[in-house]
Amino acid sequence: MTRTSCCVVGGGPAGLVLGLILARAGIRTTVLEKHADFLRDFRGDTVHASTLTLLDELGLGEQFAALPPRWVQKLAVQLDSGTFEVADLSRLPGRHQHIALVPQWDFLNVVADASRREPSYELIMKAEVTDLVWDGKRIAGVTYFQDGQSHLVEADLVVGCDGRSSVVRQQAGLRSRTFGVPMDVLWFRLPRLATDPEGVVGRISRSNLMIMIDRGDYFQIGVVIRKGSIATLRDRGIEMFRQRLRGALPWLGDRVELLESFDDIRLLNVVLSRLSRWYRDGLLCIGDAAHAMSPVGGVGVNLAVQDAVAAGRILAPALGTGPVPTASLRAVQVRRWLPTVLIQTFQRLAHRVVVETSIADDEADPRPTTAPAPLRLLQRFPVLQAIPGYFLGIGLLPEHAPDFARASDGATVRAGARSA
């Protein structure tokens, strides 16, 4: 049995950032992650300017820059009628006028390595949480399985950071409101050549909506399909899908042949939902566990990280002295509610306007796409591209590292954590 102040379930962006911040406050923090490593493909690759600023504040900016990530300042989409710039980050305030593209496991390793240097921190891998421990109506810990053995962690507070299929959320009986989503995503890799476009490449046509994330020597590609249409695609066979790719992105050439079957392609089930209440006595949910995000806009990681920073700042003073008052848990939800609702509203709107009109049910629609009015406006007045740039790069209500979590000259500032 382990006794800790805060048990964080899930070592994704939300869980690892929260763990680091609490540990920097000197609070006994145990993070449980069910996988043996962070090497998973189905996660956001984008680290936004506000998260880059946070990494600087935490003293991790240099380690992150040394990975090295790919820096992206402008985002464009390719239509049949040409390439259109949609977002310009060069006018962002602060040190970072870009977003970084990096496989998420590299980002998580930077945060995990820094956390492991904190004496009050413990990260347990291959630890799958299966149940909550109850003390009357209060949640007082979790049980997890590791190598076939059951373990108990008692905690003053459990924080569910276990993503959109959260076990913690479900076991706590917290209810989600789920919004209809018209799409799923097919996710696969193809080699990238030096002559290919760099950064993030969006492709929109009447029958296709796809995104290509430049990961150096390969593209991570996401093709949006109508929800539930995978069976039809499989029935038609891989060659039909390859033809669709050739039609949309002729410059990929023979590379599409590398997709030998649908076994080379993963289906990602897109979900958009949020809890109306993120907490109950002894428990809080943040990140995708509280609000599952659509990949639209690529903002889920940033939002999860911002939740974690707010939670760390609000909860640190209340932790370490016994059960955390529910007022503190509520304060986290109140702080993060507005950005969550606004971003999800934007995603729902985007599903309706862009996604629904550009994903084909069946054969490719040969009519060329023309740029919609907002896109034409952005080309006519490029200065307006700074608005989507700000939305993507900084987001709504960015959070900053609390004083107790900041590092100066690589050294952790621990003193005064409780009063910060």
What is Dmax (Cα atoms) for the chain? Answer: 65
Tokens for 374, please give them: 């907002």
Exactly one of 301, 315, 331, 417 binds ligand FAD (CB under 6 A); which one?
301
Looking at this protein, which amino acid is placed at residue 221? I
Shortest distance, CB of residue 85 to ligand FAD, whole angstroms?
Answer: 19
Q: How far apart are CA 60 and CA 229, in angstroms?
A: 43
Check binding of 156 to ligand FAD (CB under 6 A). no
Check binding of 46 to ligand FAD (CB under 6 A). yes
Q: β-strand 149-160 against 176-179: which pairing, if any?
A: unpaired
Exactly one of 23, 111, 123, 129 binds ligand FAD (CB under 6 A); which one?
129
Name which of 75 and 316 has its Cβ closer to ligand FAD: 75
Q: Output the CA angle 31-35-36, nearest 5 degrees.
A: 95
Q: How far apart are CA 259 and CA 241, in angstroms?
A: 9
CA-based R_g, the chain, Å: 22
Residue 139 near residue 280, CB atoms below 8 Å: yes
Check binding of 214 to ligand FAD (CB under 6 A). no
Q: 302-321 mask for ligand FAD (x: CB under 6 A)?
A: x-x-----------------
Q: How far apart are CA 85 and CA 91, in angstroms?
A: 15
Check binding of 33 to ligand FAD (CB under 6 A). yes
Check binding of 185 to ligand FAD (CB under 6 A). yes
Shortest distance, CB of residue 368 to ligand FAD, whole angstroms?
Answer: 27
Check binding of 45 to ligand FAD (CB under 6 A). yes
Q: How far apart are CA 54 and CA 307, in angstroms?
A: 12
For tokens 């023979």, what's the residue? 254
Which of 373, 259, 306 is CA-nearest to residue 50? 306
Exactly one of 282, 287, 388, 395 binds ligand FAD (CB under 6 A); which one?
287
Exactly one of 54, 204, 233, 299 binds ligand FAD (CB under 6 A); which one?
299
Exactly one of 20, 32, 186, 417 binds ligand FAD (CB under 6 A); which one?
32
Which whole-number Å values give the CA distances from 308 to 85, 339, 360, in the listed order?
32, 14, 38
Name which of 80 and 197 has its Cβ closer to ligand FAD: 197
Shortest distance, CB of residue 256 to ligand FAD, whole angstroms?
Answer: 20
Residues of this chain, 242-281, that bind ligand FAD according to CB under 6 A: 268, 270
Q: What are the residues binding ligand FAD (CB under 6 A)?
A: 9-15, 32-35, 42-46, 128-129, 161-163, 167, 185, 187, 222, 268, 270, 287-289, 293, 295, 298-302, 304
